[in-house]
Amino acid sequence: MTISNLFNWHGAGKAIRKKHRIMKKFILSAGLALLMMVAVSAGAFAQSSEIPPYKPQSQELYNTILHMDSVYFTAYNNCDMDTQAAVLADSMEFYHDKGGLMTSKKDFLAAIKANICGKVTRVLVKGSVEVYEIAGFGAVEIGYHRFINHQESETPSGPGRFVAIWRLKDGKWQLYRVASLHARG
C-alpha cells in the first residue's frame, strides 16, 4: 500500500465514521421523537379517560338551548330570514376560522341569503352538545355540526366544532356570539 492509498483509505474511514455518527444521531433523534409521541398519546389517553362524561347541570336549560338551536337552524336550513333575524342579537358577532369575523347582523344575514339559502344544510351531530349557564347573562353551547353543500355533494362534511353564546334578554333568548371552527389538521 502506498502512502497515497493509505491517505485515501484514512480519508474514507473518516467519512465512514462521520456518516456513522450522523446516522447514530438520526436514530437517537427519531427514537426520542417516537418516544415523545407515544408519551403524548398515552398522556392524551389518560387525560381523556379522566374527563367525566357530560351531564347537564340543568336539564331545563339544556333543553331550552337545544330548542333555540333547532329554531335558529331550522330557519337557516329553510331560508327563513325573518326567524333568523329575530333570533340573532343586534350586536351579534360571528367568528369563522376560514371566513374571519362578521359583526354586522345585516351583512351576516345578507351573506347567508346569498351563499347558504337553498345550497347548504346544517346538521347537528347528535349527542355532541354541552350547555353551561353563564350566571346573570345566558348560556354557552358547545358542540359539533356538519354541513351538506348540496351543490357539491349530498355527503355531510366532517364534523366541525362550534361555540354559541346565548343571551337571555327581556325573557327572550338571542344568539349573541358564535365561533365556528372547521379546520382539519
Question: What is the secondary structure of 88-118 as a DSSP string?
Answer: EEEEEEEEETTTEEE--HHHHHHHHHHHTTT
pTM here is 0.72
In 3-state terms, the chain is what percent helix, strand and coil (to 5)?
45, 30, 25
Q: For residue range 74-125, what is the model confidence (pLDDT) as tens digits?
A: 999 999 999 999 999 999 999 999 999 999 999 999 999 999 999 999 999 9
Contact (CB, 8 A) for 165 and 138: yes
Q: Is the pLDDT of residue 23 over 80?
A: no
Structural fold of domain 59-181? Nuclear Transport Factor 2; Chain: A, (3.10.450)
pLDDT band at 137 (very low <50, low <70, confident <90, very high): very high
CA distances (Å), 137 to each of 37, 86, 132, 180, in order? 42, 18, 11, 21
Domain ranges of the chain: 1-51, 59-181
When pLDDT is averaged across residues 44-60 and rounded to a whole number, the result is 80
Beta bridge partners of 66: none
